[in-house]
């Protein structure tokens, strides 16, 4: 077999593999769509090739960033991967790392989500790169993303600067045939060179570090190898050009080909979105009158061109929000090129089916107990599968990772002087609690806030593909770590009321919740915690997920739809012919929880 | 050779796996390939679509009205993703009910064989046999052998072959 072979890889797999091929010795990440598969594919590739690389699912992105950066400061290559809002969490170490720089290559993969498909914002991480003054690569395909990992490491080492690789959902979750090689083994010994003016960098050192950073960026903006790639038009459309980057370039390229205009109008692909090549900015200023910039999601290239003839997202020629699908880019190009529009899409598509919690999901049982125990309660919640509880009205907020606990404190004090303050019941997943919930809890306890904290412990990070959580004591590659237990953490945070139960046992859960409410309202009360423990049903190795019950719906069903609307289990389906509810045996998990939901007792369970 | 295929369904039906099979078959038969998939929240039973583009493309997405072939794992999705199809495109729909498409009761056949999770493979077998694909049934079967998780392999092959048979008898 030759050293190089072609493989079908998802963009994230290409990036994960690319990092390992580059001899990266430390990769840290926190899962989040669309970035999650980067680390898991690196784990698989490291296992297969036996190279020495430390791989970790860190507790959050800030920790991941700091740990990986420190490793890079010893001269080794290191990388960190996260979704775009993860970089908000890591913003503090990120911003400063531009000033202090790195020794070994340091690559930050920040995966953006134009649309957004699976995020709380559609922010553009390239703006973050501009803000921090670091370079950012903007790949258009999985194969290109893998190539850019290599380029990013090289650039990072040449200038001792962190480098960002910014793929978007359509690159992360595309598949392509990608050339693959073997991992490079660098065997660099760790050499942390003590340099207080750099690694401690008190304010007196910062003006000079800032000057050095500016110089680095100025030199990078003159790197001809990173100048936008030109596809010349042969002069038939003089002084007119299209500039694009990322997957928006891929769309523009194919659309121009469809129009027969490829090779007939100047097209540029921007490789490094920031800093934009100085010579390129000059060329665009002097050689073109009509300029269209197509990029996702914010006008980063457009902003740097500083040119009143540029059209794009800022000028209103392209919608100033949202994903640029081929159909959007088509309309933009037609207008820019004064072409008759292609016949419009035939039909306005119907809306699809929204996602919902899986059949048998333990979260659904927990929410049913919360909702029925506290009608009129206030329910701050957070980010995870359980955000889907909004479908059946069981949660009231979702802001950013860990926010629900601080929100509960805010709500508590807002209502504290009311005569009948509502019960405040917070729900947060186990992984989210570890990620950013703990400081908020300490703060709430310190300030004597009173609310019920429900930790939905399904023993995994479910939404992003079942990554391990700290209380299992398992690391990214499956090797044992030291478990950090939730009840121990709660106690250490000053919570004195702690109960645990399986949410399938809704009577027990409801009892715990009522007791917790009494604790909150008692004289010495404070935060009361209830941990609901049942493994995620998608976690195939988990015990306790055996089908227990065979479910049936009797003739007594009146078709009132309460179970469909208030409980929304996908295994309960309305039969239009009979006007009653049926059980879909192909997906029913046999949890038996829906028995309690039917007001007529028409849902029954028989032991299997 | 250029061919654009969509696979439409809901999370959990095996849309992504069918997409991967097609991508691998494309590579094995020497074609460049690009796909686009849904992951994350949409996978929890929501409507999803995969795009598969075989040939010299740069963009992973298919334009409205440009898909040559469409695999619909449920008929309800026609109203949602039907507009992706070319007017001359061929639709393969998992349904017992006839319509303006080629249909096969993939779920029914799969359930009958005790392989309800392999309905995606039944529809794929049915479609590839009916013709018009960039690859042959044999090439796809080889890929199924190679990339199926060991536990799933037998069910997948059973489903795929059921699909091939279904074409012959209809």
Is the Cβ pair A345, B116 closer than 8 Å? no
Contact call for A463 and B40, based on CB within 8 A: yes
| Closest residue of chain B to A142, computed from CA coordinates | B34
Contact B142, B102 (CB under 8 A): no
Q: In chain B, which residues have their Cβ closer than 8 Å to the Cβ of A385?
A: 41, 44
For residue range A21-43, what is the model confidence (pLDDT) as tens digits?
999 999 999 999 999 999 999 99
In a domain, residue A352? The reply is no
B140 lies in which domain range? Answer: 3-164
Same domain, A91 and A107: yes
Q: Which residues of chain A have a CB within 8 Å of the CB of B58? A: 140-141, 249-251, 253-254
Which of B58, B76, B82 is nearest residue A140 as measured by Cβ atoms?
B58
Cross-chain Cβ contact A355/B46 below 8 Å: yes
Nearest CB to B60; choose among A250, A350, A352: A250
Q: Are residues A387 and A312 in the same domain?
A: no
Residues A377 and A453 in one domain: yes
Contact check, Cβ <8 Å, A463/B41: yes
**What pairs with residue A606 in β-bridges?**
A550
Question: Residue B170 domain-assigned?
Answer: no
Q: Helices A61-72 and A91-100 meet at what angle, rounded to 10?
A: 20
Does any domain span residue A501?
yes
pLDDT-above-70 percentage for chain A: 99
What percentage of residues in chain A have a pLDDT greater than 90? Answer: 93
CA distance B123 to chain A (A): 18
Residue B29 lies in a domain: yes
A439 & A573 share domain: no
**Which of the listed residues A186, A220, A254 is the one where a domain comes to its end?**
A220
Asked if the model's pLDDT at residue B41 lies above 90, the reply is no
A580: β partners: A575
Cβ distance A463 to B32 less than 8 Å, yes or no, reads no
Q: Could you report the per-residue pLDDT of B73-121, keeping only the tens digit for each? A: 999 999 999 999 999 999 999 999 999 999 999 999 999 998 888 999 9
CB A70 within 8 A of CB A54: no
Residue-wise over A170-184: b if at least 16 C-beta within 10 A, else e?
A: bbbbbbbbbebeebe
Q: How many domains does chain B have?
A: 1
Which CATH number characterizes residue A141's domain?
A: 3.40.50.970
As beta bridge partners, residue B47 has B10
Closest approach of chain B CAs to the CA of A6, in angstroms?
8
CATH number of the domain residue A581 falls in? 3.30.70.20
Q: Are residues A96 and A212 in the same domain?
A: yes
pLDDT attached to residue A70: 98
Range of the domain at A478: 362-542
CATH code of the domain in which B155 resides: 3.40.920.10
Among candidates A326, A345, A353 on the partner chain, residue whose Cβ is nearest the Cβ of B59: A326
- Looking at A220, A239, A255, the residue that finishes a domain is A220
In a domain, B63, yes or no: yes
Nearest chain B alpha carbon to A347:
B83
Position A113 in a domain:
yes
Same domain, A530 and A557: no
Instruction: Judge if A164 and A279 occupy the same domain.
Output: no
Q: Which positions in chain A touch B26 (Cβ < 8 Å)?
A: 177
Predicted confidence (pLDDT) per residue in A182-214, tens digit = 999 999 999 999 999 999 999 999 999 999 999
Chain B residues touching A345 at Cβ < 8 A: 64-65, 83
- Tell me how close the Cα of B121 comes to any Cα of chain A, in angstroms: 17
pLDDT digits (tens, 9 = 90+) for A270-315: 999 999 999 999 999 999 999 999 999 999 999 999 889 999 999 8
CA pair distance A272, A279, nearest whole angstrom: 13
Supply the pLDDT for residue B169.
47
pLDDT at A443 exceeding the cut of 70: yes
Q: Do A254 and B27 touch (CB under 8 A)?
A: no
CA distance B148 to chain A (A): 14
* Count of domains forming chain A: 4
Q: State the CATH number of the domain containing residue A302.
A: 3.40.50.920
Give the pLDDT confidence score for residue A346 in this predicted structure. Answer: 53
Interface of B with A in 41-80 (CB under 8 A): 41-47, 57-65, 76-77, 79-80
- Considering the domain architecture, whether residues A431 and A312 belong to the same structural domain is answered as no
Task: Looking at A57-108, list the stretches that DSSP marks H as alpha helix, in order from N- to C-terminal side.
Answer: 61-72, 84-89, 91-100
* pLDDT single digits (tens) A220-279: 999 999 999 999 999 889 999 999 999 999 999 999 999 999 999 999 999 999 999 999
Sign of dihedral through CA atoms A354, A359, A363, A366?
positive
Torsion sign, CA atoms A319, A324, A326, A332: positive
Report pLDDT for B170. Answer: 45
Residue A3 scores a pLDDT above 70: no
Cβ contact, residue pair A346, B83, below 8 Å: yes
The answer to whether A540 touches A464, Cβ cutoff 8 Å, is: no
| pLDDT in the model for residue B2 | 96
Distance between B134 CA and the closest CA of chain A, angstroms: 16
The 10s digit of each residue's pLDDT in A317-368 is 999 999 999 999 999 999 999 999 887 655 567 788 889 999 999 999 999 9
Q: What is the per-residue pLDDT for B29?
A: 92
- Using CB atoms, which residue from A7, A350, A355 is nearest to B79? A350
Residue B4 sits at the chain A interface (C-beta within 8 Å): no
Please report whether residue B150 resides in a domain. Answer: yes
pLDDT for residue A545: 75
**Residue-level pLDDT at A345:** 57
Cα dihedral: A454, A460, A464, A470 (round 10) = 90
Cα gap A163→A165, rounded to integer Å: 7
Question: Which one of A513, A542, A571 terminates a domain?
Answer: A542
In B89-118, the residues whose Cβ lies within 8 Å of chain A are 111, 116
Q: For chain A, what is the mean pLDDT?
A: 95
Residue pLDDT, tens place only, A484-510: 999 999 999 999 999 999 999 999 999
pLDDT in tens, A380-428: 999 999 999 999 999 999 999 999 999 999 999 999 999 999 999 999 9
Instruction: Kindly provide the b/e burial profile for residues A491-530, where b requires at least 16 CB atoms within 10 angstroms of the residue's own CB.
Output: eebebebbbbbebbbbeebbebbeebbebbeeeebbbbbb
| A117 in the same domain as A35 | yes
CB within 8 Å: B47 and A327: no
Neighbour count for residue B53 (Cβ, 10 Å):
28
One domain, residues A247 and A373: no
A323: nearest CA in chain B? Answer: B61
Contact list, B62 vs chain A (CB under 8 Å): 326
């Amino acid at each position: 077999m030759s050293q190089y072979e072609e493989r079908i890889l998802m963009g994230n797999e290409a990036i994960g593999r690319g990092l390992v091929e580059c001899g990266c010795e430390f990769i840290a990440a926190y899962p989040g769509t669309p970035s999650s598969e980067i680390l898991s594919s690196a784990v698989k590739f490291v296992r297969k090739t036996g190279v020495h690389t430390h791989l970790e699912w860190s507790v959050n992105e800030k920790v991941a960033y700091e740990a990986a950066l420190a490793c890079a400061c010893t001269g080794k290559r290191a990388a960190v991967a996260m979704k775009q809002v993860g970089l908000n969490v890591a913003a503090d170490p990120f911003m400063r790392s531009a000033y202090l720089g790195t020794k070994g290559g340091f690559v930050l993969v920040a995966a953006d989500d134009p649309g957004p498909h699976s995020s709380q914002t559609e922010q553009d991480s390239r703006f973050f790169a501009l803000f921090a003054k670091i370079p950012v690569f903007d790949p258009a395909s999985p194969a290109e993303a893998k190539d850019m990992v290599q380029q990013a490491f090289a650039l990072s080492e040449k200038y001792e600067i962190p480098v960002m690789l910014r793929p978007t959902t359509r690159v992360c979750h595309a598949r392509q045939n990608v050339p693959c090689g073997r991992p490079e083994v660098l065997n660099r010994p760790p050499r942390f060179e003590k340099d207080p003016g750099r690694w401690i960098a008190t304010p007196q050192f910062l003006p000079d570090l800032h000057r050095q950073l500016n110089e680095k960026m100025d030199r990078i903006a003159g790197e001809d190898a990173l100048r936008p790639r030109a596809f010349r038009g042969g002069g038939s459309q003089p002084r007119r050009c299209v500039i694009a980057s990322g997957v928006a370039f891929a769309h523009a390229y194919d659309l121009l080909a469809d129009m027969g205009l490829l090779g007939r109008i100047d097209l540029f692909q921007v490789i490094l979105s920031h800093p934009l090549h100085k010579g390129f900015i000059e060329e665009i200023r002097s050689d073109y009158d009509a300029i269209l910039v197509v990029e996702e999601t914010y006008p980063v290239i457009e902003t740097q061109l500083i040119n009143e003839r540029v059209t794009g997202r800022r000028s209103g020629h392209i919608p100033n929000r949202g994903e640029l699908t081929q159909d959007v880019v088509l309309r933009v190009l037609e207008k820019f090129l004064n072409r008759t529009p292609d016949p419009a899409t035939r039909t306005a598509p119907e809306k699809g089916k929204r996602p919902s919690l899986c059949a048998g999901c333990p979260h659904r049982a927990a929410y049913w107990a919360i909702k029925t125990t506290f009608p009129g309660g206030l329910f701050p919640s957070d980010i995870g599968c359980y955000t889907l509880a909004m479908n059946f009205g069981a949660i009231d907020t979702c802001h950013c990772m860990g926010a629900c606990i601080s929100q509960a404190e805010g709500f508590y004090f807002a209502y504290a002087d009311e005569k009948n303050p509502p019960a405040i019941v917070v729900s947060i997943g186990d992984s989210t609690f570890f990620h950013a919930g703990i400081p908020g809890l300490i703060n709430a306890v310190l300030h004597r806030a009173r609310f019920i904290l429900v930790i939905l412990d399904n023993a995994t990070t479910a939404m992003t593909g079942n990554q391990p959580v700290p209380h299992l004591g398992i690391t990214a590659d499956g090797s044992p770590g030291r478990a950090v237990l939730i009840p121990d953490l709660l106690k250490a945070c000053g919570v004195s009321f702690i109960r645990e139960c399986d949410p399938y046992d809704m009577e027990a859960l409801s009892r715990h919740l009522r007791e917790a409410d009494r604790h909150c309202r008692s004289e010495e009360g404070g935060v009361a915690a209830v941990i609901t423990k049942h493994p995620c049903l998608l976690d195939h190795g988990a015990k306790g997920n055996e089908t227990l019950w065979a479910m049936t719906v009797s003739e007594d069903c009146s078709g009132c739809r309460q179970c469909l609307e208030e409980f929304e289990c996908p295994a309960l389906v309305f039969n239009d012919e009979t006007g009653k509810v049926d059980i879909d045996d192909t997906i029913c998990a046999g949890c038996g929880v829906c028995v309690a939901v039917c007001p007529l007792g028409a849902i029954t369970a028989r032991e299997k | 050779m250029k061919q654009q295929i969509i696979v439409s369904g809901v999370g959990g039906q095996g849309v992504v796996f069918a997409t991967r099979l097609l991508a691998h078959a494309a590579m094995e038969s020497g074609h460049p390939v690009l796909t686009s998939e849904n992951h994350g929240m949409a996978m929890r039973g929501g409507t999803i679509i995969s795009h598969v583009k075989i040939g010299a493309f740069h963009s992973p997405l298919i334009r409205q009205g440009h898909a040559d072939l469409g695999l619909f794992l449920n008929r309800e999705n026609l109203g949602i993703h039907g507009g992706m199809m070319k007017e001359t495109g061929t639709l393969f729909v998992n349904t017992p009910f006839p319509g303006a498409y080629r249909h096969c009761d993939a779920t029914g056949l799969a359930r009958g064989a005790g392989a309800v999770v392999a309905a995606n493979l039944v529809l794929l077998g049915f479609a590839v046999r009916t013709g018009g694909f960039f690859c042959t049934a044999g090439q796809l079967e080889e890929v199924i052998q190679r990339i199926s998780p060991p536990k799933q392999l037998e069910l997948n092959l059973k489903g795929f072959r059921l699909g091939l048979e279904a074409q012959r008898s209809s």
